[in-house]
């Protein structure tokens, strides 16, 4: 049981570390070639204590033992009725105990009465229109929770990680809206693929407003690509614009030996109302939109100075597209500390940057290079009421030893929860 919990706490972080962005931060490379937009970069930021504290309040609430206590992933989607749905991966479930306690002076996990599982592969959190987290969506039965998005069967263990989501018509022209959630379908594998390998991109459909899971469709199969390091998964970012949903993806599943190369971002687009329709997807091939996924060419990434990690985020600000990703500390991979940005006038680019955005604050007792890391920066336009753009990021303990990760996360639950800042974007000079 302890081995499973440790794996749940560290798997997504470890995967992100081996595919993390390796860039040399610059001052950007000048203006765009489209007069309708201007270059944007982060000019300042402030901690968003309200959102960070709300996740802390909900995670520490001991009213239930089968709801979210901590986890990876801070992907959000605004629902038509004003609520926000947060998609999470590898969440822990259970209670926490406040200080003082035998494990330390921060909130620590209490022994759970749930039995197996004490964590699931995925879940979702429902936030009210006024910003209060209210409930956790899971599969399974009361007292025996399971993943919201079911884990496919044997012979090898498989699972799904939810990434971005959009609200769209049930079909083109329909007045009924549904929620589509992009999923990364993965499978366990042998060394050196200790964090599993990507198999496919899938799309789940939920009815609204009751958030009932109706089904899951596969939209891109990568299982036949021989080298798992070359497999593309889509959904790292998704933006509705006009009559299209633009979906970014990239390679996800690199071995440690390949970590010094940055990942390349790819782009697809789908007509509104057809995100779950495999035949409707079109992929950017460097010149035009192609129906052949194998023709996809990267829109960002040169294998060295420029590139993205497997987890990044894209937003539209005015006429400008802005991308957020992590810098992994340069070619030596010295640690995840800095969020970097790119900007473009069109979703396919050209993308300009990277520009240094900010160094992500860590929990109080994790600062000073003691082992914690920030990763998975995600923008949340329209969430909250503060000035600027809300951006969240995940936190976990950076250590090669699973036992050390488990010990520190169990000592302080803040080391496995998202944190939030407000960013201010200004025109690039």
- Residue segments in the chain with a per-residue pLDDT below the cut of 50: 1-33, 116-117, 256-260, 329-335, 367-369
Measured distance CA(312)–CA(248) in Å, rounded: 9
CA-wise closest residue to 267 among 226, 287, 254, 352: 287
Q: Which two tokens stand for residue 25?
A: 């931060």
Q: What is the DSSP string of 331-364?
A: TTT----EEEEEEESSTT---EEEEEEEEPP--G
pLDDT computed for residue 13 by the predictor:
45
Alpha helices by DSSP H, 186-331? none
Measured distance CA(208)–CA(194) in Å, rounded: 37
C-alpha pair distances (Å), 242 with each of 4, 232, 297, 315, 395: 44, 25, 23, 14, 34
Domain limits for position 382:
2-427
Phi-psi region of 226 (alpha: psi -120 to 50; beta: other; left: phi over 0): alpha
Reported as type and span, the H/E element at residue 403 is helix 402-411
pLDDT computed for residue 193 by the predictor:
77
- Helical axes 2-18 vs 402-411, angle rounded to 10°: 110
pLDDT computed for residue 49 by the predictor:
94
Q: Which two tokens stand for residue 250?
A: 């990239």
pLDDT computed for residue 262 by the predictor:
64
Domain total for the chain? 1
Q: Which two tokens stand for residue 140?
A: 């399974």
- Asked if residues 339 and 326 have their Cβ atoms less than 8 Å apart, the reply is yes
pLDDT computed for residue 257 by the predictor:
47
Buried b (16+ CB within 10 A) or exposed e, 239-265: beeeebbbbbbbbbbbbeeebbbbbbb
Measured distance CA(362)–CA(373) in Å, rounded: 7
β-bridge partners, 247: 238, 268
β-bridge partners, 339: 326, 358
> Which CATH number is 414's domain given?
2.115.10
């Amino acid at each position: 049981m302890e081995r499973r919990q440790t794996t749940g706490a560290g798997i997504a972080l470890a995967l992100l570390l081996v595919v993390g962005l390796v860039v040399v931060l610059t001052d950007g490379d000048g203006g765009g070639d489209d007069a309708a937009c201007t270059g944007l970069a982060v000019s300042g930021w402030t901690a968003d204590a309200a959102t960070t504290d709300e996740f802390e309040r909900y995670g520490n609430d001991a009213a239930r033992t089968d709801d979210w206590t901590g986890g990876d992933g801070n992907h959000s989607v605004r629902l038509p009725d004003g609520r926000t749905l947060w998609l999470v991966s590898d969440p822990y479930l259970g209670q926490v105990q406040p200080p003082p306690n035998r494990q330390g002076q921060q909130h620590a996990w209490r022994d759970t009465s749930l039995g197996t599982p004490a964590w699931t592969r995925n879940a979702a959190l429902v936030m009210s229109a006024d910003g209060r987290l209210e409930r956790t969506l899971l599969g399974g039965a009361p007292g025996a929770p399971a993943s919201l998005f079911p884990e496919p069967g044997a012979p090898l263990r498989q699972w799904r990680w939810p990434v971005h989501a959009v609200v769209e018509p049930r079909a083109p022209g329909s007045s009924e809206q549904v929620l589509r959630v992009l999923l990364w379908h993965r499978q366990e594998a042998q060394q050196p693929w200790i964090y599993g390998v990507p198999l496919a991109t899938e799309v789940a459909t939920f009815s609204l407003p009751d958030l009932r899971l109706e089904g899951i469709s596969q939209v891109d199969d990568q299982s036949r690509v021989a080298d798992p390091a070359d497999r593309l998964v889509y959904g790292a970012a998704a933006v509705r614009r006009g009559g299209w949903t633009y979906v970014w993806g990239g390679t996800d599943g690199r071995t440690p030996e390949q970590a010094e190369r940055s990942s390349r971002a790819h782009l697809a687009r789908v007509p509104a109302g057809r995100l779950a329709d495999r035949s409707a997807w079109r992929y950017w091939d460097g010149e035009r939109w192609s129906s052949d996924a194998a023709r996809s060419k990267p829109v960002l990434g040169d294998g060295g100075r420029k590139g993205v990690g497997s987890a990044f985020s894209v937003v539209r600000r005015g006429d400008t597209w802005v991308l957020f990703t992590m810098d992994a500390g340069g070619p030596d991979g010295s640690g995840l500390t800095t969020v970097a940005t790119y900007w473009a006038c069109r979703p396919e680019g050209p993308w300009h940057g990277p520009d240094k955005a900010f160094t992500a604050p860590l929990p109080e007792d994790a600062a000073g290079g003691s082992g914690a890391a920030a990763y998975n920066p995600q923008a949340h336009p329209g969430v909250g009421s503060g000035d600027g753009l809300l951006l969240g990021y995940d936190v976990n303990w950076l250590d090669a030893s699973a036992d050390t990760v488990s010990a520190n996360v169990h000592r302080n639950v803040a080391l496995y929860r998202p944190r939030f800042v407000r960013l201010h974007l200004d025109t690039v000079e």
